Amino acid sequence: MNAITLPLSQQIHARLLERLQPTELRVIDESADHAGHVGANDSGQGTHMRVCIASPLFASLSRVQRHRLVYDALQDFIDQGLHALAIELI
C-alpha cells in the first residue's frame, strides 16, 4: 500500500506544531508566486514558504534566536530542497 504524502506546507505545519508548540501558526506556500525564479520547480509548490508563528518557547529569546529555532526545526526540509523560508514572528 502506498503512503500518502502530504503537501510540504502541511508537513511543515505538523513539524512546527510538534517542535515549537505554537499558539498561532500559519504556513503559506508562496511557490507559485516565484515561478521562473531561482529555486522554483515546475510544480509551483514546495519551494518557497512563509511561516507566521507565535510560541511560548520564544519568551525571552532574541529575534535571531527565535528564527534559529524555526530554522532548526525545519532544517531537513531545507536540506531536501526548500529554497526560501520567510519567517514572521507574531
pLDDT in tens, 13-68: 999 999 999 999 999 999 877 555 555 545 445 788 999 999 999 999 999 999 99
Residue 73: enclosing H or E segment and its boundaries? helix 63-79
Distance CA 40, CA 16 (A): 23
Q: Rounded to whole angstroms, how far apart are CA atoms 55 and 66? A: 9
Distances (CA, A) of 11 to 18, 36, 46, 57, 77: 11, 24, 10, 20, 9
State if pTM tops 0.85.
no
Say which residues have a Cβ less than 8 Å from residue 17's Cβ, sequence separation at least 6. Answer: 25
